[in-house]
Each structure stands twice: as structure tokens, then as C-alpha cells.
Amino acid sequence: MKRKPLMGLTLGDATGIGSELVAKTLESEDIRRMATWVVVGDERVFQQGLSVAGVTLPYQTITNIEEVERDDQVYFIDLHNLQPDAYTLGRLSAESGQATGETLTYVLKLAQQKKLDGVVYAPINKEALHSGGFHFQDELHFFASLLDCKEGFSEINVMGDLWVTRITSHVPIKQVSSLVTKERVARIIRFAHDTLINVGYDKPKIAVAALNPHAGDGGLLGTEEIDEIRPAIYEAQEQGIHVEGPYPADTIFLRLKTKPFDCLVSMYHDQAQTGMKLLGFNKGVTVSGGLPVVITTPAHGTAFDIAGQGIADPGATEQAMRLAIKLAGF
């Protein structure tokens, strides 16, 4: 009989909705049956999440992963790394950011040592992580550094059958144009293609968004399409990749109805994320793609405005858990 996946699950930033989401998702018997979940964090934060969610959950506290014995049990590794008086729900806390970074380090190292099949993390707060001493552009670069990866990684957003990746990600918008180069576009098209092949697509269809309004209107509204994006698309087509574009970004999601594609390559974060979140806010998953460890998270963030109210929707976290299990090969 095939064994169950052993999955790491972190509470995210304690100041946000993460522990509530973990409590709500683990309440589902279906989710508990799918994997052996090893929750990692500070147990007092977890207790707070259970209380906010109004969930009672049997789990076993252990001190290290080797103590996992049964596959029908939720386990908790208590790192005891965040004092309850060090943070307030809904307010940025450097201490919580530090605990978030330490917890992710712990769980990713376990996965790197193959003691976990994958990792799901509840939302973290980038500013808090940075204030807590983890001086990276974003968590993806933090993970890459931790896992000794220099290149070849990128965020991927997934909702149902639609995959999206990006030429630029967590960078100021004023840097975007200079980063849209032929080399980068070609590399990300190849990354999108390889990612979809790895998850079982035979000949994935990729659509590439333009950067400028109306795809530059023949150069009148910008030349990145002519100088950088189109040459990269031609190059990828010559390599046998089924890729088309650049298409005007404001109507690219409408194309899903008439000329469906499997993966969208967007030029910058909000270009695709706005559409994705409108298509299904409570279903979107972000994958830390191109790393040697399976890592997923919900596409939404820490939601400070509703933290502690018990109204956070666990749908995207549940999808992140399901997708991590699938990506881990189960």
C-alpha cells in the first residue's frame, strides 16, 4: 500500500490570519485523511488560531520529526519561539517576523533532508520577515538561499487548471521595464513550459502578456514588445514550445473563453494577480517554483484587517495543501 505523504505546515505570521486558517483547514476530516500533517510553530500561536476559528482538534505535540509514528494523527512541533506579549493581532511585529523566518528555516531544512515530502506555509508578511532579520527581497529568495539555489526559480500561481508565472515579481514597478529583457522572457517561457510538462501536460499552451497598453500599438505606446518580448516568443517557438503573444494584458483573461491556454506568462505581479484573484480569491495558490522542495501557500496574504475575527476564508489554504500533495507526487 502506498504510504501517506508527510507534510510540513507552518502557521505563517502570528499577527495575521495564518493560525486561524491552519485550524480551519485541519478541522476537515478529508484534509486530515490526505496526509500526515506536521504543524510547526509556537504552540501558543496555534492555540490562539484554534480559539479564533472555534475549532477543537486532537493533535500530538512532539519535539522532533523522528517521533512521528502514526499516519492518522496531526502532529505539532513546538519551537516555542514567540512570546504572546511580543505581538498584537493585526499589527506588524518584528518579533513575529523573526519567529516566522526561524520556523520556515526549520521546516525547509527538514524537507531538504527528505524528512518531509513538502511544505505548506500560511501567509507570512514580507515587511515583518525583513524587520525580523531576514533581509531578502521576498520569501522566495529567502527559500532559494536556504536551499542553495542560485537561479531557475520563480513564483507560479495556480487556480484550477490555470497556471501563471511572471517575468518580474516582488520589485518596484519602476524597475519592471528594465527587467523585461529578451533573455529573461525566453527563460521564463522555458520555465513555464518545463513546469507544466513536469506536472503532466503533454504540450502546454502558453500565452504571453504584453507590457504596454494595447501591446504597444506598433511601437507607439512602448517598444518592449518589439525589442524584447516578441523575439523571445519566436525563439521559444523555434524550440518547439507552444507559445503565443504578446497579447494586450487588459483582455488576456477574456481569451480564456475563446482561445484557452494552460499558462499565462505575465510581465509583473499585479498584471496577472488582479485577474487571478477576481477569478477565484478563495482558490488561488502560489507555488515557489523551481526549488528542490515542494512549497505552496495561499495566494492571499496576512489580512491584518480581519485578523482575530474568525471570518478568514480557508479555501485558498486548503487548495495549497491539496496542490502540495499532488506536486510531491502523491
Ligand X SMILES: NC(=O)C1=CN([C@@H]2O[C@H](COP(=O)(O)OP(=O)(O)OC[C@H]3O[C@@H](n4cnc5c(N)ncnc54)[C@H](O)[C@@H]3O)[C@@H](O)[C@H]2O)C=CC1
Closest contact distance (angstroms) between CB of 122 and ligand LD2JLWAY is 10
Of 217, 191, 203, residue with least CA distance to 287: 191
Instruction: Indicate which of ligand LD2JLWAY, ligand X, none lies near residue 125 (CB less than 5 to 8 Å, by partner kind).
Output: ligand X
Yes or no: say if 175 and 168 are a contact pair by the CB < 8 Å rule: yes
Measured CA to CA, the distance from residue 198 to residue 68 in angstroms comes to: 30
Closest contact distance (angstroms) between CB of 127 and ligand X is 6
Closest contact distance (angstroms) between CB of 317 and ligand X is 7
Closest contact distance (angstroms) between CB of 113 and ligand LD2JLWAY is 23
From 80-88, 198-206, 262-270, 306-314, give the range in contact with ligand X by CB under 6 A. 306-314
Task: Decide whether 106 or 201 has the Cβ nearer to ligand X.
Answer: 106
Considering only 13, 102, 117, 155, the residue that binds ligand LD2JLWAY (CB under 6 A) is 155
Considering only 45, 303, 321, 324, the residue that binds ligand X (CB under 6 A) is 303
Measured CA to CA, the distance from residue 266 to residue 156 in angstroms comes to: 11
- The interface with ligand X within residues 262-301 (CB under 6 A) comprises 286, 297-301
Instruction: Supply the Cα-derived Rg of the chain in whole angstroms.
Output: 20
Q: In what order do the strands lie in the sheet with 295-298?
A: 60-62, 75-78, 36-41, 6-10, 118-121, 295-298, 285-289, 154-159, 162-166, 263-266, 206-209, 243-247
Binding mask 109-138 for ligand X (x = CB under 6 A): --------------xxxxx-----------
Considering only 115, 255, 269, 326, the residue that binds ligand LD2JLWAY (CB under 6 A) is 269
Closest contact distance (angstroms) between CB of 170 and ligand LD2JLWAY is 6
Yes or no: say if 100 and 13 are a contact pair by the CB < 8 Å rule: yes
Task: Decide whether 65 or 128 has the Cβ nearer to ligand LD2JLWAY.
Answer: 128
Reduced to 3 DSSP states, what percent helix, strand and coil does the chain have, rounded to the nearest 5?
45, 15, 40
For ligand LD2JLWAY, the binding residues (CB under 6 A) are 124, 139, 155, 157, 269, 273, 286, 297, 299
